[in-house]
A and B are shown apart, each in its own frame.
Chain A
């Protein structure tokens, strides 16, 4: 089953029926099951969902960096015209950084503590066989591009001498230094305080609009999604349950899980007192419930939900949803 929200000729990333599992002593953990989505050039696509819903694993799978014992069981990942899962390790390493890069959640531990900030960027740039002095000069330029003041001096600092926001900028600089077509950002602001968050998001947005780079952002923060995403994919228990352009998703969420997620958002001026929560908890990925993974928590479940897994359907305007409810209602 293929769902293509963006036409294939302009798609920069196309993920089809991706499944990732982790073999553990307790059994096989189905972290990602049958996820399909596509991204257009320059598009900002947000993957949202609760912790453990498989959004980070999806991102790592695109990078082919799923940590052992995890492995990609099924599916296709195409970056432009390249079939990523068919590449050798060396060819994949060559794609990383050059065409496809990723920044991580915790900038405090994601830079190597023993190398200077500039050297770590220089190391990325010299992968394009650039002589070292040139690479160093470009590394300083990159630090300027990610809006670090006094870049020549900051390049000489070690990571522990820089603030969290500064370190995330260094990381971003390192990853965009070779102008990739697609940047993946896994909760890039979660570890930072709110004012810094806004500046990092601003920076990411600017980098996208200036260079035409596509951004796949992983977050659990629907506020961030509303601010920067063009399209959104909602994940639950390893499946992509709904995807839609950002306004339509906020205006008219189709999947019951998305609706509950929206209601759980704190709103100013509503004065409801308590925040709404989604009753129940995320299912055990080793023993997923039969049928729709969400049905035990779903207030709108039907008899069919417990027995048959809903298939993603295209619902006008590049929207997809995987819910039996819609088939009956609409």
Chain B
């Protein structure tokens, strides 16, 4: 198991490295010269521009620049915002908690609703309840997030005045954005859970479990759910980075001071160091979550563990 974890971690580090290479190449290929952004060549003499170029290390060959950039990132130094001059590290550190404040409750709410609903739909498969669950969650899935956000604001913030309309003003501000993140995603997980449970119920080992004398509930809990939830658990970990990266639009609509909004502003202002910093963080989160997902699925399913330990 330890070897398996080590292997997954090594793979993860390599993946992040690949992402940084691609990110750096994109930066190099971007039109425009960062020095010109901070020093207007019409007003600054050429030798001073050259001095600036040397000072920022931009006269070095690309691969040397890449190594410097990478080493700095590893030390946690993502550079400074071109627009505000603040350290990117500090910017991200102040925004990240706000994004997690939305993402973590959204993810927990999503799974505490979706898994029991999926299980219920599977156990009552073919019934009216099953159809009601599937139709409702699928319909929610087709609603675009921005539209749902505006609808929720209109009903619960403007008409009913139950929750603040936007910004962060204490825990009550969480309700609407968390709902906006959660509701459209329910459909996928409900369907996955339902399909996995239905598939597992047909497995011969479930018949074995009944034959040895277990009750309905024991079979469902220990044999059906235990196996059906393996893919669902993996999806849980894959969803976290998506929530962090995918909250750009929602954070904007709710004027939420999180990473998504920071990324949005940075992109519109062409604030490259900030954009890079956020992308690297999202890449690390994605790879980290994937690795955790792999390790967890290995812990839950001994067959996967063996396959990965001995197969490759």
Contacts and interface: CB of A to CB of B under 8 A. Distances in A.
Interface of A: 63, 65, 67, 89-90, 93-98, 101-104, 106, 109-114, 123-124, 127, 158, 160-161, 171, 174-175, 178
Given A97-B214, A112-B227, 19 more contacts: A63-B211, A65-B210, A93-B214, A93-B216, A97-B213, A98-B213, A104-B204, A104-B208, A110-B204, A111-B205, A113-B301, A113-B302, A114-B227, A114-B230, A114-B300, A114-B301, A127-B214, A158-B302, A174-B212
B213 A65 contact: no
B214 A123 contact: yes
B54 interface: no
Nearest to B216: A89
B212 A97 contact: yes
B208 A111 contact: yes
A10 B140 CA distance: 63
Contacts of A103: 211
Nearest to B227: A114
Contact of B205 (A94, A96, A98, A110): A110
A107 to B, nearest CB: 9
Nearest to A157: B302
Contacts of A98: 213
Nearest to A121: B212
Contact of B212 (A67, A90, A124, A158): A124
B209 interface: yes
A93 B213 CA distance: 5
A104 B211 CA distance: 10
A178 B208 contact: no
11 contacts: A89-B216, A93-B216, A97-B213, A104-B207, A109-B203, A109-B205, A112-B209, A127-B212, A127-B213, A161-B306, A171-B208
A93 B212 CA distance: 8
A112 B205 CA distance: 5
Interface centre among B211, B214, B216, B230 (most CB of A within 10 A): B211
B203 A124 contact: no
A64 to B, nearest CB: 9
B212 A96 contact: yes
B226 interface: yes
A90 B208 contact: no
Nearest to B226: A114
Contacts of B230: 114
Closest 6 A/B residue pairs (Cβ): A97-B213, A96-B213, A124-B212, A97-B212, A112-B205, A102-B211
Contacts, number: 82
Contacts of A123: 212, 214, 222
Interface in B188-232: 203-205, 207-216, 222-223, 226-227, 230
Q: Interface majority SS on A: helix, strand, loop or mixed?
A: mixed
Interface of B: 203-205, 207-216, 222-223, 226-227, 230, 300-303, 306
Contacts of A158: 302-303, 306
Contacts of A171: 208
Contacts of A104: 204, 207-208, 211
Contact of A101 (B207, B211, B303): B211
Given A160-B302, A160-B303, A160-B306, A93 B215 contact: yes
B297 to A, nearest CB: 11
A113 B214 CA distance: 17
Contacts of B306: 158, 160-161
Nearest to A178: B213
Nearest to B206: A112
Contact of B204 (A63, A106, A124, A174): A106
Contacts of A178: 213
A94 B213 contact: yes
A103 B208 CA distance: 7
A113 B213 contact: no
Contacts of A63: 210-211
Nearest to B219: A93
A97 B210 CA distance: 9
A113 B212 CA distance: 16
A175 B212 contact: yes
A197 to B, nearest CB: 19
Contacts of B216: 89, 93
Contacts of B300: 114
A101 B204 contact: no
A157 to B, nearest CB: 10
Contacts of B212: 96-97, 101, 123-124, 127, 174-175
A158 B204 CA distance: 16
A127 B213 CA distance: 8
A103 B211 CA distance: 8
Contacts of B222: 123
Contacts of B215: 89-90, 93
A109 B212 CA distance: 15
Nearest to B301: A114
Given A65-B207, A109-B205, A171-B208, A114 B213 contact: no
**Residue among B203, B213, B214, B222 with most chain A CB within 10 A:** B213
Contacts of A65: 207, 210-211
